[in-house]
Amino acid sequence: MRSPVRVAVFSAALSLSAGLLAGTALANDQLIQMSKDPAQWVIPGGNYASQRYSPLKQINVDNVKNLHPVWTFSTGVLRGHEGGPLIVGDVMYVHTPFPNKVFALDLNNEGRILWVYEPKQDPNVIPVMCCDTVNRGVAYGDGKIILHQADTTVVALDAKTGKVVWSVKDDDPSKGATGTSAPLVVKNMVLVGVSGGEFGVRGHVTAYSLADGKQVWRAYSMGPDSDILFDPEKTTSMGKPVGKDSSLKTWQGDQWKIGGGDTWGWISYDPELNLVYYGSGNPSTWNPVQRPGDNKWSMTIFARDADTGVAKWVYQMTPWDQWDYDGVNEMILADVNVHGKPTKALVHFDRNGFAYVLDRTNGALLEAEKYDPAVNWATHVDMKTGRPQVVAQYAPGQQGEEHNTKGICPAALGSKDEQPASFSPDTGLFYVPTNHVCMDYEPFKVAYTAGQPYVGATLSMFPPKGEKNLGNFIAYDVNEGKIVWSDPEMFSVWSGALTTAGGVAFYGTLDGYLKAVDMKTGKELYKFKTPSGIIGNVTPFMHNGKEYIAVLSGVGGWAGIGMAAGLTEDTAGLGAVGAYKALNNYTQLGGVLTVFGLSD
């Protein structure tokens, strides 16, 4: 049995001088070791590679049918519960959407509350949160719990007591900037992104000292080379130096200053290469006619030196984004065969419907294939240029004027949004929660005013023609570049996936079911309906020799924004309300953590 006190003391001993980035013990040395202990879940993605895989196998394909709830915990907060808990020693740390409470729960006593942190935030931040008041989780390092609050405050809490150790403001909510992402502790730093692309906020990732919150570096998504931390001769894209002013040349005038490219998704890290990986989101505004050009470096995968933030390589997936295909989904790092060749790969299932495989050491594009057959906005990705081959019929603003473009697949919420996929080293497959949704898209002219919506498009969403299901849970093989099996779901699969050594893949559904399927075949082995729709990430842990599965339920997020915010017009919620109107017939609001286990 691990004591949280011993964990904190051990962490403090490892971090003798947290402000230094070299020559001393590093917080991530401890995290790397702790993440190898399958009893714990100390990094939001399970490990730095964001694989969301557990070597636990007590729960397996033969006995998962005997799974049942063993205890539950109500967060007392409504709206969308994204992300998942951390398990550090004998303590589980649970977060909520706004007001961003954090609970420390005692696993030795079925979730007895050890402490609660509830920040006092200005509720005026709620109207500038694009797609519900979600938060994707906390981070752990050096005896601290790190939270990124809705008002962009980054706060470090003592993991033992919940007391504030330090806090720092990351950006300005009065201009539309918000905090929804899970931080990541790398070396002796905390890395955080920012939300606000729908308000013209210029995206950035910032590294703060884990010891005291002082800024170490900040890298913007677009702007001058000095802002985006590019070396024009050494930073590469598609194997070539990006050259001077690679971003500025692709924007008209000063549009880049309100250009979006926000960074509210997940961050991964390769300790051997010392590179951090993440994606940037849509350019602002959603009306492409108002911002001609490639709009670099929105919609981009970044590989940055962890110590300095300087970009080693970049790859832009959707130049001149005309569809709101944010590029922020997780970067899964895996050593896999790609077309038969062993590869240090970065695998990214993008909103735009293509599964990208790159060499994570140098950014070489190795594969880009559709992972939903409904995708029609582009025929393929040119492997020499890296550019998608766009179908003019499905390209809003392609003719230089605003008009309603119908039947685009996928919709703006993508073939997958932030809900993270999982990689199993046992099967070599990726398990992906997906959306199966198309849209009509009508841009309109919009003027920028700080703190006001800067969207400029009206959307309607619906299933692909002739189909009814809005989602699928799939197994994907990057070696072959194809879907292995696909399980249809009535609604989008908006939860994070989990795979285990027991041969089971877990995911949640918008209508509230926790499901377990056979990783090899997709056969459903177990399901249980939780109190509300699941948009949280399934999380495993072991305590006192028994394996458990935990998941947050609490419908919301973009797909559930109609229920979460009480919206009724079909085009409300940036187009999602009409597509998911039937959710009201299957689930209701409410934040609950459910912990599942096997019978004794």
Q: Which residues are designated catalytic?
A: 324
Helices and strands, counts by H and E, the chain: 5, 40
Burial level of 29, CB count in 10 A (0-12/13-18/19+)?
middle
Place of tokens 């004998």: 90
Euclidean distance between CA atoms 78 and 555, whole angstroms: 8
Report how far residue 86's alpha carbon sits from residue 95's, in angstroms, rounded to the nearest whole number: 9
CB count within 10 Å of CB 414 equals 27
Q: Where are the beta strands (DSSP E) in 221-310?
A: 236-237, 240-241, 268-270, 275-279, 300-305
Residues for the chain: how many in total? 600
Please name the residue ranges forming H helices in 188-230: 225-228
Q: Give the 3-state secondary structure percentages of the chain, helix then strand then coil, rounded to 5.
A: 10, 35, 50
Q: Any idea what DSSP says for residue 189? A: E
d(CA 320, CA 296): 8
Report d(CA 49, CA 276) in Å as an integer. 10
Residue 205 near residue 15, CB atoms below 8 Å:
no
The sign one gets for the Cα dihedral 497, 424, 527, 435 is positive
Question: Dihedrals φ, ψ of 32, to 5°?
Answer: -60, -45
User: For residues 561 and 283, what is the distance between their CA atoms, to the nearest angstrom?
Assistant: 22
